[in-house]
Structure formats: C-alpha cells, structure tokens
C-alpha cells in the first residue's frame, strides 16, 4: 500500500517545529528517522495531515555528561548511542539494551526520541527510560517542560505527550560506585518484537550487599513497567540465587501479558521471571567486578 495524501514541512529549529505542530491542531506527526512512522503510514494505520521533518535540527543531537546526568538529544541516532564510549562507561544498561533494537540498518536511522515517543510496550529504549527513571525534556509553543518517563506511558503507543509538543532531550541518571546492569529479552527472531524483556541495575556496598536496585519489564504489559516493590526486596541484602528468584517472581506478578500466536499469557509471565533473574544475575556479577 501507499501512504494517504499528506503535506510536508521541514522544520529548521525546535521553535519552528513546535509552531508547525501548534498550527496543525493535532493533525501533524514528527518524523526524524521514520523507522516506525513510515511503515505505519504505508499501511494507512497512521494518516497525518502534515508531516513535520525534524531530521536536520542540530540542537536535537548529541550526547553529553553533566554532573550525574547523561544528556542525550532526542534526535540522536541509535547507532551513535550504540558506538558511544561515554554511554558504555556511564549508563551500562542503555549500552546493553541498544544493540537489541531492531537491526543495524534501523539503528542507523532511528532516533532515541522517536522510539521513546512512539511508546511500543515491547521496545527497548522506553523500557530503559522507565527502569532508570529518565526525565524527558519537552518543548511546546507555550514553553519548555519535563515529564518523568515513569509517568509518560498510558497504554500501547499512548503517552502523555501533548499533540503540540516534541521531546528535545532525554536525561538519564548516572549511578556511581559498584554498579552493574543486565538486560535480556526473548523474541521469535533477532530483531523481532520482544515477547518479554527485562532490565536491571544494582549498586553494591563495600560488603557486597545491595545498596539500591531498579528492575523494569517490557513486552508483558500495556506499557513498560518499573517494578519498584520487587527491587526493594533486594536492598540491604546479598544477591544470592534465592533472593534473585524471589525478586524475579515478584516482578513477573506485576505483569499483564496477553495471549497470542507466539505464546500464552502464562508463558509470557513465566518467561518474564526467567529474564528478570538473568538480568539481575548479570547486574550482580558486573557490580562485583568493580573495585
């Protein structure tokens, strides 16, 4: 199929983009990489009256560390994040997850902001943002704002982002100390949508006990979810197999998976527990290796 008729405008700045969005009164879509939007338009599942191209806006690009925050411009290509030594050193969870996003050709064009704004519940980047409690910086014609990633998703491909807004930057917290991360997902084939995914990050104290932890689950609920209660089970304790299994079970109990041709809801829930346990074990092993 071919896309329905639409108008096209190339924004030269963030201010230009938000002005175009405001004038379109909810009938516009932003495009940067277009790795999701273009197929949806081709299948006529998306029919924007106006396509606002933000690909050439330099202020939306870049990766920088500011204090204990890693700042990534929303227009930054996923491949650039994958190759970034700064990301690999400072936010290991993102570095682990990014290689699971689609295929190399998709990561060459796809942007971090586009994936997060699209809000696929099985996508890796929304899961990382929710797990780490990232802050999404936004811009509208009325001015700048910010939204916690944990408050951003309402349902599959449904977010709290206003129709006249765009995400300009993603701020990810940097953890210091003996920190480790783990990320696991299962899909029918590499690059396919995940049946379930799990993300974990832990910090250990000097005696090897868990000082703090986060656990996130994707693909097994209408949105990616941060499993705060499951993570709290780990705090102040040694991360042995029994404790990890208990936390994984608690995380899986929070899911709301659906049955489909790839597996039943119960299968996805059990799969989630397995993936969370693997992610936590990897995170603990990585953290123990830090001097």
| pLDDT tens, position by position, 77-127 | 999 999 999 999 999 999 999 999 988 888 999 999 999 999 999 999 999
For 253-271, the pLDDT digits (tens) are 999 888 887 889 899 999 9
- Residue 201 is assigned to a structural domain of this protein: yes
pLDDT of residue 281: 98
The reported pTM is 0.94
- pLDDT at residue 33, rounded to an integer: 83
Please tell me whether residues 168 and 64 are part of one structural domain. Answer: yes
Of the residues 127, 143, 173, the one at which a domain ends: 173
Would you say 216 and 194 are in contact if contact means Cβ atoms under 8 Å apart?
A: no
The verdict on 87 and 187 lying in the same domain is no
Mean pLDDT value of segment 47-59: 92
What is the average pLDDT value for the chain, to the nearest integer? 94
> Does residue 143 share a domain with residue 210?
no
- Domain membership of residue 190 (yes or no) is yes
**CATH number of 146's domain:** 3.30.465.10
Task: Decide if 2 is inside a domain.
Answer: no
Task: Check residue 236 and report its DSSP letter.
Answer: T
Domain co-membership, 158 together with 223: no
Whether 20 and 89 share a structural domain: no
Same domain membership, residue 104 and residue 41: no
Summarised one tens digit per residue, pLDDT across range 189-214 is: 776 788 999 999 999 999 999 999 99
pLDDT band at residue 138, thresholds of 50, 70 and 90? very high
State which residues form the domain around 95: 58-173
Domain shared by 194 and 98, yes or no: no
Residues 199 and 258 both lie in one domain: yes
Structural domain tally of the chain?
A: 3
Give the C-alpha separation, 137 to 74, whole Å: 9
- Show which of 173, 190, 219 is a domain's final residue: 173
37 closest CA partner among 3, 74, 78: 3
217 and 148 co-located in one domain: no
Q: What confidence score (pLDDT) does residue 64 get?
A: 98
- Under a CB-based contact definition with an 8 Å cutoff, are residues 123 and 130 in contact? no
Q: How many Å from the N-terminal Cα to the C-terminal Cα in the chain?
A: 56
pLDDT digits (tens, 9 = 90+) for 153-162: 999 999 999 9
At residue 207, the pLDDT reads 95
Task: Compute the chain's Rg from CA coordinates.
Answer: 19
Residue at 280 is within a domain: yes
**Domain of 276: which CATH number?**
3.30.390.50
Among residues 15, 30, 53, the one where a domain terminates is: 53
């Amino acid at each position: 199929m071919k896309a329905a008729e639409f108008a096209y405008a190339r924004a030269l700045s963030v201010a230009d983009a938000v002005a175009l969005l405001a004038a379109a009164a909810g009938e516009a879509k932003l495009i940067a990489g277009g790795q999701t939007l273009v197929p949806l338009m081709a299948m006529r599942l998306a029919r924007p009256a106006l396509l606002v191209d933000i690909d050439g806006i330099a202020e939306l690009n870049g990766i920088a560390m500011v204090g204990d925050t890693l700042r990534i411009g929303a227009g930054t290509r996923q491949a650039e994040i994958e190759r970034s030594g700064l990301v690999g050193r400072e936010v290991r969870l993102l570095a682990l997850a990014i290689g699971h996003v689609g295929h190399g050709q998709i990561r060459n064009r796809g942007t971090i902001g586009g994936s997060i704004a699209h809000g696929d519940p099985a996508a890796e980047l929304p899961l990382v943002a929710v797990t780490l409690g990232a802050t999404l910086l936004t811009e509208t014609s009325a001015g700048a704002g910010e939204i916690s990633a944990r408050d951003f998703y309402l349902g599959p491909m449904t977010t709290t982002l206003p129709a006249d807004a765009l995400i300009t930057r993603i701020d990810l917290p940097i953890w210091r100390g003996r920190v480790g991360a783990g990320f696991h997902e299962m899909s029918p084939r590499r690059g396919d949508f995940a049946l379930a995914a799990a993300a974990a990050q832990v910090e250990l104290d000097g005696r090897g006990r868990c000082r703090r932890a986060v656990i996130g689950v994707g693909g097994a609920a209408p949105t990616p979810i941060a499993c705060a209660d499951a993570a709290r089970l780990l705090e102040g304790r040694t991360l042995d197999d029994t404790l990890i299994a208990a936390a994984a079970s608690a995380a899986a109990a929070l899911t709301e998976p659906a049955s489909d041709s790839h597996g039943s809801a119960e299968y996805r829930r059990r799969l989630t527990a397995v993936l969370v346990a693997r992610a936590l074990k990897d995170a603990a092993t990585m953290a123990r290796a830090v001097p």
